[in-house]
């Protein structure tokens, strides 16, 4: 088995913004500290939740550099460097490695998409270009492409491809993945509502949106699973389920930023084309937060 990057809850951290849409690095530093001090086991910077798709190249690199410096080796920093352009992903991945990232998160190509053979060529080319571990990111609901089990088997042969963030939402598919690749790929849940079932299949943890707001509780769910106390893990997960679901009442990261703002964390707005929650959705989110005494 390859070395595991982390176990437990890693946060898919938001990118806080000032009112003018610029990145609020002071607040980003506070959120990184907040997570690490409350048990988060990894910082995932410049992912979907971090609004990487609307970052300039300079912002993307600066966020990675900043996170590496702020984390200061307390936990691994995993940089999102995926792209639908293989050469660009290679360039960004190399720069993330030079900036000190401990690992990379690579989403499947989107829009132009590709075949399964193309996925193998794409990910292997990126993996060949760096010397740090890679987590594949499968989220067909956003990209329109799914990594087949046989493709995972093939990609798992590369020394640098060590794990997958699985956000297909299909537990049967995840069981097939675990059966086929448990010796070559660590599995992380890409959905906060599936932490317990994924970890019951041998998953190592979660790359979490929920951890932005509740890092201690999210890591506790994971640790209970790692301790084989699935009864307590399930009870805690179900207690938080309404809020967990409401973090996806609109397009991520609109709701989680609103939740952090309601908590007084000053996450700021999202960049367009993401727009604020409707009043109805905001009321539902706020109500679920009040029920668990988050606000």
Q: Checking DSSP bridges between strand 161-166 and strand 77-80, what pairing results, if any?
A: unpaired
The pair of three-digit structure tokens given for residue 76, joined into one six-digit string: 């691994």
Rounded CA-CA distance 26/31 in Å is 9
> Whose CA is closest to 188, among 83, 47, 51, 60?
47
Torsion of CA 276, 282, 286, 288, to 10 degrees: -120
Catalytic residue among 27, 137, 188, 257: 137
Residue 244 CB-half CA count within 13 A: 19
Catalytic residue among 70, 165, 204, 257: 165
Query: For this structure, is 137 an active site residue?
Result: yes
Cβ atoms of 194 and 171 within 8 Å: the answer is yes
> Whose CA is closest to 69, among 22, 95, 32?
32
Query: For this structure, is 165 an active site residue?
Result: yes
Chain centroid to Cα 237, Å, comes to: 18
For the stretch 41-60, what's the b/e string if a residue is b when 16 or more beta carbons lie within 10 angstroms of its beta carbon? bbbbbbbbbbbbbebeeebb
Q: How far is CA 98 from CA 12, 85, 130, 257, 292, in A?
A: 21, 20, 10, 30, 42
The catalytic residues are 137, 165
């Amino acid at each position: 088995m390859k070395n595991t990057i982390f176990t437990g809850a890693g946060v898919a951290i938001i990118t806080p913004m000032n009112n003018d849409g610029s990145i609020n690095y002071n607040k980003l530093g506070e959120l990184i500290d907040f997570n690490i001090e409350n048990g988060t086991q990894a910082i995932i910077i410049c992912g979907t939740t971090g609004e990487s798709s609307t970052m300039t190249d300079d912002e993307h690199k600066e966020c990675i550099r900043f996170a590496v410096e702020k984390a200061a080796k307390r936990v691994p920093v995993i940089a999102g460097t995926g792209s639908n352009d293989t050469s660009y992903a290679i360039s960004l991945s190399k720069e993330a490695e030079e900036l000190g990232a401990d690992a990379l998160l690579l989403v499947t190509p989107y829009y132009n998409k590709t075949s399964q053979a193309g996925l193998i060529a794409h990910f292997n080319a990126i993996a060949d270009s760096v010397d740090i571990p890679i987590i594949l990111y499968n989220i067909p609901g956003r990209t329109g492409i799914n990594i087949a089990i046989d493709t995972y088997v093939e990609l798992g042969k590369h020394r640098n491809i060590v794990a997958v963030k699985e956000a297909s939402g299909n537990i049967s598919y995840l069981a097939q993945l675990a059966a086929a690749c448990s010796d070559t790929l660590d599995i992380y849940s890409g959905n906060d509502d599936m932490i317990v079932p994924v970890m019951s299949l041998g998953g190592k943890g979660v790359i979490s949106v929920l951890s932005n707001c509740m890092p201690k509780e999210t890591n506790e769910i994971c640790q209970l699973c790692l301790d084989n106390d699935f009864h307590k893990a399930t009870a805690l997960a179900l207690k938080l389920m309404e809020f967990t679901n409401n973090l996806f009442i609109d397009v991520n990261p609109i709701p989680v930023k609103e939740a952090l703002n309601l908590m007084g964390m000053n996450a700021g707005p999202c960049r367009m084309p993401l727009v604020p929650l409707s009043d109805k959705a905001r009321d539902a989110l706020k109500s679920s937060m009040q029920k668990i005494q988050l606000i």
